Amino acid sequence: MPTELPPPVLLAQGLHKAYGSKVALQSVSLTLQRGEFVALLGPNGAGKSTLIQILSGLFVPDRGDLWVLGHDIRRHAPRALSQLGVVFQQLSLDMDLSVQANLLFHTDLHGLPRALARQRIEEGLAQHGLQAQAKEAVRSLSGGNRRKVELIRALLHRPRFLLMDEATVGLDPASRQDLMRSVEALAGSGEVAVLWTTHLVEEVVNAHRLVILNHGAIAYDGSPADLRQQNESMSLEQAFLAQCRKSASVKA
């Protein structure tokens, strides 16, 4: 008998969300497979924030369906969200607690035994060179190191889907590249599927797939190279802008 294929890490179908008369998302469908690094790119006001809030379980769509590893997020939210790790655009650490205390709080929420939690925390800190800062208050860390702590925290419960929401905002170029390399390596190892949202074109160059969201709808879903080819081999930034203009003219 043929082996049944595993479900996609993420399957979103026909997501629609409106705030009164303002439509934020319209018929958005998206799929991620294990090991994929997918970049979600869009101009300000494109609907990225609304989509991220729906994917992370903070908002409920007006219409549409959403599954994480085969678990319907409406009917089985705890199972679906247990497979999700998130680094939000806004810092979500307790600034006055130590790095270790922030991480232990997260493992407690996920019910990890303390011995296992401490082992994973030590491994994460070692991987990112932060062992010496374990007892320090988060407030004392640089912006880049705070982001590293958030990435460590997002992975402590071993999620299969990592959502990075404008995670490099406010970082210097070196810290931004360091964070991106870490996340790209995670996807490359096949451990997780990554959805990386950004408005910076230079952050999507190495993505397996590029999804462009504009005016609440998917304007493109394919490789960065194909996007350039479809737009007469322009630079990636020029091709992105051209694709946004095309989608806007079709909408109009």
- Decide if pLDDT at 3 tops 90: no
DSSP 8-state symbol, 190: T
SS3 of 84, please?
Answer: strand
SS3 of 18, please?
Answer: strand
* pLDDT averaged over every residue in the chain: 91
Question: What are the structural domain ranges in the chain?
Answer: 27-83+159-252, 93-158
When computed from its CA atoms, the radius of gyration of the chain, rounded to whole angstroms, is: 19
DSSP-derived secondary structure for 35-76: T-EEEEE--TTSSHHHHHHHHTTSS--SEEEEEETTEETTT-
pTM for the full model?
0.91
**Per-residue pLDDT reduced to its tens digit, 116-135:** 999 999 999 999 999 999 99
Confidence of residue 249 (pLDDT cuts 50, 70, 90): low
**Per-residue pLDDT reduced to its tens digit, 68-119:** 999 999 899 999 989 999 998 888 999 999 999 999 999 999 999 999 999 9
Domain 27-83+159-252, classified CATH 3.40.50.1110, yes or no: no
**Per-residue pLDDT reduced to its tens digit, 155-187:** 999 999 999 998 998 888 888 888 899 899 989
Q: What is the pLDDT of residue 1?
A: 39
- Decide if pLDDT at 44 tops 50: yes
**Per-residue pLDDT reduced to its tens digit, 52-63:** 999 998 999 999
